[in-house]
Structure 1
């Protein structure tokens, strides 16, 4: 039985030409860009029934279809079960969650794996989750072990668009983790250039956005082009996993110039302290991104 059906087209072939690609909005004046932003139409969220399945000790979240929206191993409820979700934590290679007032926000709660992990693992960090569907929040707390809010954890019933567009959040986040899918699972619910620019605005410098991208149709290259435009081409990708998911990292702030040896040393420490497969992240980033053979420069 194949449960993970979020497929994406091949990361390397699609990623490399995207660096030089231009958006159809290029060349418009400031007034035209503002008008385009006002006129952008977002996909209307489709609140299908929140459903569950279990297999081999793993509980899965669905939105009324076979598409998997999250998972939890019952014997390890605070661990991150799915490989693509583990890769969403790859910002740990570049940022330390022990920094003062460190703030991680998750757009799209899913089965709350990332939110729970960050809250439990990083005792000094503030953790926020933004989820529009109240049934998903209820499922997180009743079926996936998400704790009630406290002084470090906040779960907001809110549209992710409204969250990143709120000026109060400008430059407020160290990390933004984006995983926004509805019942159709055809691609991210929010995927415009304006949205990705807003994601960059809420980040500190340095700051990192990690995002789960979808494929098997044209959503993947379109999203990569728009993320590259919003983040000045400072974007890395992982090789695809689960027969489809591709995680991308986008960077705000100072340029990064680090040797692979340094990253591998950092990854070993992360594996020892978090249990995440960080050394595999380093291998994946090295393999899937062009012109990074001697070291990571972005």
Structure 2
């Protein structure tokens, strides 16, 4: 996508905050005009997931109904492009659409964080994520939501209408994975809105040290997978990508989501 297309689209207003990049101990960080880290990349391993919450956002890969899942991915919020880069590289069966509200971000992510060029599998749309979902007639197997402004606010992505719209746009056996900010005052209310939109079929992992808490919704058929199967899938994913989700499975078990050794959503 050329700069004229990015900055001349006129569909969204460019946010006023600055976009800053810092680097320390071999890790490059993205900031939106503050010390808050909005994304990170280890320079020597640009396609690895450096931040723990981005790793936990890949938990749905262990819950996949088949090897070809997810064929259609919608990512709301680009940031440094960490999750998008990972899926583009390691899930060749996936077609990925990214909706990013800040028209400056794709160029920044490409310049500083190795975001790949758009191709037949990667589409970048400049626009409001909530509006995009509300107006879309497409179905998605996996919807990833990670959109915050420079004040750590999710705005329209943290409403009951948005969560209901996401559910309406899911394909059969599709699911939504959201990054919540566990330290915000409205965290419990945010989680409750997601649970209500999905009739209680969702789980919220305990907050990470970074303050993020990942929420994953169930499917129309529900989710029941034994820990042995999940650990075997995690070992396979690790061998293929180096991503280690075994600690996340331990966190799920410790949080009480696996009674009798079975994960139920």
TM over 0.5: yes
1:55 and 2:21 correspond: no
1:176 and 2:137 correspond: no
| CA distance in structure 2 between the aligned counterparts of 1:99 and 1:156, rounded to whole angstroms | 24
| CA distance in structure 2 between the aligned counterparts of 1:200 and 1:238, rounded to whole angstroms | 20
| CA distance in structure 1 between the aligned counterparts of 2:89 and 2:155, rounded to whole angstroms | 27
| 1:157-196 matched pairs, under 5 angstroms | 157-169=126-138, 172-187=139-154, 189-196=156-163
Task: State the superposition RMSD in angstroms.
Answer: 1.9
| CA distance in structure 2 between the aligned counterparts of 1:216 and 1:157, rounded to whole angstroms | 29
| 1:225-244 matched pairs, under 5 angstroms | 225-244=192-211
Question: 5+ residue gaps in structure 2?
Answer: 1-12
| CA distance in structure 2 between the aligned counterparts of 1:84 and 1:101, rounded to whole angstroms | 20
| CA distance in structure 1 between the aligned counterparts of 2:232 and 2:116, rounded to whole angstroms | 33
Q: Describe the superposition over 1:224-247 as per-residue Cα deviations: whole angstroms up to 9, x where unpaired.
A: 100000011111122221341111
**SS of residue in 1 equivalent to 2:104:** helix
Match of 1:131 among 70, 77, 100: 100
Question: 5+ residue gaps in structure 1?
Answer: 1-43
Task: Compute the TM-score of the two structures, normalised by the length of structure 1.
Answer: 0.80
Partner of 2:117: 148
Match of 2:215 among 220, 235, 248: 248
Q: Tell me by how many angstroms 1:291 deviates.
A: 6.6
Counterparts in 2 of 1:101 and 1:206: CA distance versus 1, 3 Å: closer
Q: Describe the superposition over 1:1-34 as per-residue Cα deviations: whole angstroms up to 9, x where unpaired.
A: xxxxxxxxxxxxxxxxxxxxxxxxxxxxxxxxxx
Partner of 2:181: 214
Match of 1:199 among 141, 145, 166: 166
**SS of residue in 2 equivalent to 1:263:** helix
| CA distance in structure 2 between the aligned counterparts of 1:167 and 1:139, rounded to whole angstroms | 27
| CA distance in structure 2 between the aligned counterparts of 1:134 and 1:282, rounded to whole angstroms | 36
What is the aligned residue count? Answer: 253
**SS of residue in 1 equivalent to 2:45:** coil
Partner of 2:259: 292
Q: Describe the superposition over 1:22-78 as per-residue Cα deviations: whole angstroms up to 9, x where unpaired.
A: xxxxxxxxxxxxxxxxxxxxxx98441111111111111111100111011111111
Match of 1:85 among 36, 42, 54: 54
| CA distance in structure 1 between the aligned counterparts of 2:151 and 2:256, rounded to whole angstroms | 30
Task: Compute the TM-score of the two structures, normalised by the length of structure 2.
Answer: 0.89
| CA distance in structure 1 between the aligned counterparts of 2:153 and 2:137, rounded to whole angstroms | 31
- In 2, are the aligned partners of 1:97 and 1:125 still within 8 Å (CA)? no
Q: Describe the superposition over 1:152-201 as per-residue Cα deviations: whole angstroms up to 9, x where unpaired.
A: 111111110122112422xx111111101001114555211110011111
Counterparts in 2 of 1:201 and 1:259: CA distance versus 1, 3 Å: same
